[in-house]
Amino acid sequence: MSFLKPRVKASLPEKLISRYRSARRPVRRAALRLRPYSTLSPIERYRRDGYNDLITKNLELNAESVVLDFGGYVGNYTATISDRYQSQIHVFEPVPEFSTALHARFMNRANVTIHEYGIADVDDVRTFGVSADGTGAFAEGAGASVSFRSADYLAEAMPPLIDLMAMNIEGGEYELIPALDHVGLLARTNRIFVQFHRVGPDPIGDRASCRHLLEATHTCIWSYDFVWEAWVRKTNHHPISSV
């Protein structure tokens, strides 16, 4: 509801806002179809081609599938995946304000586990700027102390095969992807959705470096630059036998 003032919008029930957004998406999509595809920005192409259906539908998941959601925020992505597939979902949300809300939202869903930390090279404690869905190391706003666990810890804690990994962590992907690659977790993941962000001193170079790592084991099946992109594990690549 972009026409509403932030205070008014914040006072409305999330269900009402969600219904409004769902109702306007087909209208926006129809309008975008009237324009030449080459003239559309990456976010407009994403909206035209299916919006978040691209990262939630037809994922070949079930109740036994393991999903990692990095950057849970308020849990909308986790809720959609849980409702649709009943998968075993691990949500990583280091910001106390958001992780507390996630615990409350999913307290009755045994298939959803909330981890009150992020993942990095090593165990660490940092300060994030809190700015709604833009919260992160590069955000401005009130500071929040956040905890991180090492990628080594995660590699040992997770099962041998990860069915889906989703990353929307406001620039943290540039550290997370190399860390996961170093411990072999990328190679153990069937499908990866990642949202790269234009933050930091060299986002274009950082994105290229991360994509180079992903290309070793995965194929990019679609990409909307700095919006979302999807990677699937190559059919000739299998996790190392020792994992």
Per the CB < 8 A criterion, the answer to whether 183 and 240 are in contact is no
What does the pLDDT average to over 212-222?
A: 97
What pLDDT score does 189 carry? Answer: 98
What pLDDT score does 242 carry? Answer: 36
Lowest-pLDDT range of 39-43, 133-137, 164-168, 196-200: 133-137
What does the pLDDT average to over 61-89?
A: 96
pTM of full prediction above 0.75:
yes
CA distance 225 to 121: 26
For 2, residues 6+ apart whose C-beta sits below 8 A from its C-beta are none
Question: Given pLDDT bands bounded at 50, 70 and 90, which one contains residue 178?
Answer: very high
The pLDDT tens digits of the residues spanning 105-130 come to 999 999 999 999 999 999 988 876 66
What pLDDT score does 2 carry? Answer: 47
Which residue's structure tokens are 């590069």?
138
Question: Given pLDDT bands bounded at 50, 70 and 90, which one contains residue 170?
Answer: confident
What pLDDT score does 220 carry? Answer: 98
What does the pLDDT average to over 7-33?
A: 65
What does the pLDDT average to over 91-114?
A: 94
Q: CA distances (Å), 16 to each of 6, 56, 105, in order?
A: 15, 21, 17
Per the CB < 8 A criterion, the answer to whether 101 and 73 are in contact is no
CA distance 44 to 38: 11
Is the predicted pLDDT of residue 208 greater than 50, yes or no?
A: yes
Per DSSP, 133 falls in state: B
Return the half-sphere exposure (C-beta side, CA atoms, 13 A cut-off) of residue 49.
16
